[in-house]
Chain A
Amino acid sequence: MTATIGPTTPRGARRPRGARRTAVAWLFLAPFALVFLLYTAIPTVAALGFSLTDLRGTDLRHPLAVNFTGIHNYLRLLEDPSFLRDILNTVLFVAVGVPLTMGFGFALALALNSGIRRLRGTFRTVFFAPVVTNVVAVAMIWQYAFNAGGTVNKVLGAIGFAGPNWLDDTHLAMPVVIALGVWRNFGIAMVLFLAGLQAVPQDVYEAASLDGAGRWRQLRHITLPLLMPTTLMVSVLLTVFYLQVFDEPYLLTNGGPLGSTESVALYTYHQFGAGEFGMSSAASFVTLLLVTLVSIVQFRMLRPRA
């Protein structure tokens, strides 16, 4: 029908080729698409569905026993003091962990980009090594170092402080958990900042130093403004990471003592472990919501510059 409007032969000839091309391309995409459908697309939609039901682990063989409960799970979450506490814990992890991670990463990137030659590669290797180190292994090392009689307290004892039992203290466990997060991730921030710094054209600095601008003013008026897109990208990336924090608290304290280090992700996992699949899905959707919000903010902030 539409073909009669335009020149018939070339269009008619191109169409089957286009369809064939699309089929070939989707054959290339098939393995990824299959895994994506099975393990990302369907689970995301299903999680939303589950969160509106009273699905329990024991219902998996009796799907008909599951009831639609609307937003009941979400209301239960809002009434659960431990969930609200876990949201605060997660926000604390983000609010303290992100600036610390970025601060260390940025300072080290500046130092490595200041024109030093000797040992530069070695330093970069050392600072990046935590990023690739297995978290289960590191968590064990930290437990060994932070136990009541451990190496950390030995140092404190040598300078006259009685060291506490870090991971058993409701006030001190969280700082240790955050420190592990920072240790594991500042290398990522450093590498991303290094890439950003190397993209700043060198002649801008030369011009500024001819105008008599010192190191500090160059940093404030040239480096920081030009690095803004990188800074935003790193902060959003880390925020999205840290909103989902699981490994560090699970392995160091399993959320304890008294829930003082339980994150939203850990709450989700504990609900799952208790067989409360509906509640677990609802809690996980709160994480998805937070992550999506942060990403939208990112796109809003980046768009006018890009």
Chain B
Amino acid sequence: MTTIAAPRNAEMTGERTQRRRRSVARPLLYGALVLCALLTMLPFVWVTSGSLRSLDEIRSDPGAWLPQHVTLDNFLRLFQTEGFGRFLVNSIVVAVIVVAGNIVAASAAGYALAKLDFAAKRIAFGAVMAAMMVPFTTVFVTQFVITVDLGLADTLTGIALPGAALPLSVFIMRQYALSVPDELLEAARIDGAGEFRIFFRIFLPLAGPAVATITIMSFLYSWNNFIWPLIVAQSTSSYTLPVGLAATSQAAAHVTDYGLMLAGAIVVMLPVLVLFLFLQRYFVQGISGTGMR
């Protein structure tokens, strides 16, 4: 009895001191976390309050933290701005091409890399890894020359094509496909099903989560992509939203129309942030699985 009681007592006192220490540390920890969260949120606070202030108000007191009179005037002016609707439609069209391309190309390639046995497989996988590593600045000059040669300069297809089969998506699909048991595919093979039938009928229906991650990651890539559309789009008719927004703000810079810029910033940010709030799991999986956006 006593021999059992002794360690139990020690354990309990240990627990008690730990609890006491925690009761001091907890509020401190929460305080620090809340402070960090507020600092992180600052830009979102600025953009929300700034976009709701009238141009006159911003001009007379650019640094005020809150609007004196809340107005949607900036958003109204934004949607009346020449070409803005066009930029929005262009961004959506490019995103649709990119997402569709990634689902098709990455599902097929990822499946082959994980589940098929073939010559030069290691080279193919090496190419996927290499493609993730090559800096954009190394390839964009030739990418542009090729785009011009293909007659795709200043077109939405030209903007979408380089991102239509992201190595990141292939990697995500391959990792997922590795977890699908071989027995399932082998059984179908014994039943005489062809490789394409196995892929479409057996593998794809199982690959939902990976397809979801790829959809989100490639949408994020396409919607936020900036340099490449900036290079390819030469006339406002093929500007995507970020390019159009940057151009609008540069045009507005000498008159510093912050109201218009901030309203535009909200329109660009909002779709992705809303998606993120609802589908956070996929964003975090996609990015932490590969460390890339």
A residues lining the B interface (CB < 8 Å): 18, 21-22, 24-26, 28-36, 38-44, 46-47, 50, 60, 104, 108, 111-112, 114, 116, 119, 122-123, 125-138, 140-145, 147, 149-154, 157, 183, 188, 191-192, 195, 209-210, 233-234, 237, 240, 243-244, 246-247, 250-251, 264-265, 268-269, 272, 277, 280-281, 283-285, 287-288, 291-292, 295
**Could you say which of A34, A39, A183, A291 contacts B133, with CB atoms under 8 Å apart?**
A291
Task: Verify A137–B117 contact, CB threshold 8 A.
Answer: no
Cα distance A18–B121 when bound, in Å?
13
Within the complex, the shortest CB–CB distance from A11 to chain B, in Å, comes to 16
Task: Verify A21–B118 contact, CB threshold 8 A.
Answer: yes
Task: Give chain B's interface secondary structure class.
Answer: helix
Task: Verify A47–B138 contact, CB threshold 8 A.
Answer: yes
**Could you say which of A34, A44, A111, A192 contacts B291, with CB atoms under 8 Å apart?**
A192
**Could you say which of B14, B224, B265, B287 contacts A141, with CB atoms under 8 Å apart?**
B265
Nearest chain B residue, comparing its CB with the CB of A50: B141
Q: A29-B109, A128-B284, A147-B62 are in contact. Are A134 and B142 (CB under 8 A)?
A: no
Within the complex, the shortest CB–CB distance from A46 to chain B, in Å, comes to 4
Cα distance A28–B124 when bound, in Å?
12
Q: Which residues of A contact B84 (CB under 8 A)?
A: none
Cα distance A265–B119 when bound, in Å?
37
Interface digits, B36-62 against A, CB 8 Å rule (1 contact, 0 not)?
110011111011001000000000011
Interface digits, B93-130 against A, CB 8 Å rule (1 contact, 0 not)?
00000000100111011011100111111001001101
Task: Verify B195–A24 contact, CB threshold 8 A.
Answer: yes
Task: Verify A31–B101 contact, CB threshold 8 A.
Answer: yes
Task: Verify A233–B33 contact, CB threshold 8 A.
Answer: no
Nearest chain B residue, comparing its CB with the CB of A244: B135
**Could you say which of B148, B161, B269 contacts A134, with CB atoms under 8 Å apart?**
B269
Task: Verify A43–B137 contact, CB threshold 8 A.
Answer: no
**Could you say which of B29, B65, B108 contacts A154, with CB atoms under 8 Å apart?**
B65
Nearest chain B residue, comparing its CB with the CB of A41: B127
**Could you say which of B105, B118, B262 contacts A32, with CB atoms under 8 Å apart?**
B105
**Could you say which of B40, B63, B144, B196 contacts A129, with CB atoms under 8 Å apart?**
B40
Query: Is B79 in the interface zone, CB < 8 Å from A?
Result: no
Task: Verify B46–A288 contact, CB threshold 8 A.
Answer: no
Within the complex, the shortest CB–CB distance from A81 to chain B, in Å, comes to 20
Task: Verify B63–A29 contact, CB threshold 8 A.
Answer: no
Cα distance A4–B213 when bound, in Å?
51
Q: A42-B146, A138-B43 are in contact. Are A287 and B135 (CB under 8 A)?
A: yes
Task: Verify A28–B111 contact, CB threshold 8 A.
Answer: yes
Task: Verify A135–B142 contact, CB threshold 8 A.
Answer: no
Nearest chain B residue, comparing its CB with the CB of A290: B135
Within the complex, the shortest CB–CB distance from B27 to chain A, in Å, comes to 11
Task: Verify B137–A39 contact, CB threshold 8 A.
Answer: no
Task: Verify A128–B280 contact, CB threshold 8 A.
Answer: yes
**Could you say which of A31, A36, A134, A144 contacts B261, with CB atoms under 8 Å apart?**
A144
Task: Verify A144–B108 contact, CB threshold 8 A.
Answer: no
Nearest chain A residue, comparing its CB with the CB of B111: A28
Nearest chain A residue, comparing its CB with the CB of B266: A137
Q: A43-B146, A191-B288 are in contact. Are A251 and B246 (CB under 8 A)?
A: yes
Cα distance A50–B167 when bound, in Å?
25
Task: Verify A277–B141 contact, CB threshold 8 A.
Answer: yes
Nearest 6 CB-CB pairings of A with B: A154-B63, A43-B142, A137-B265, A25-B118, A43-B139, A28-B112
Task: Verify A145–B46 contact, CB threshold 8 A.
Answer: yes
Cα distance A110–B79 when bound, in Å?
44
Q: B221-253: which residues lie under 8 A (CB-CB) from chain A? A: 223-224, 226-227, 231, 242, 245-246, 249
Q: Which residues of A contact B266 (CB under 8 A)?
A: 137
Cα distance A285–B137 when bound, in Å?
8
Task: Verify B43–A142 contact, CB threshold 8 A.
Answer: yes
Task: Verify A25–B135 contact, CB threshold 8 A.
Answer: no
Task: Verify B273–A132 contact, CB threshold 8 A.
Answer: yes
Q: Which residues of B contact A35 (CB under 8 A)?
A: 101, 105, 161-162, 164-165
**Could you say which of A39, A192, A234 contacts B161, with CB atoms under 8 Å apart?**
A39
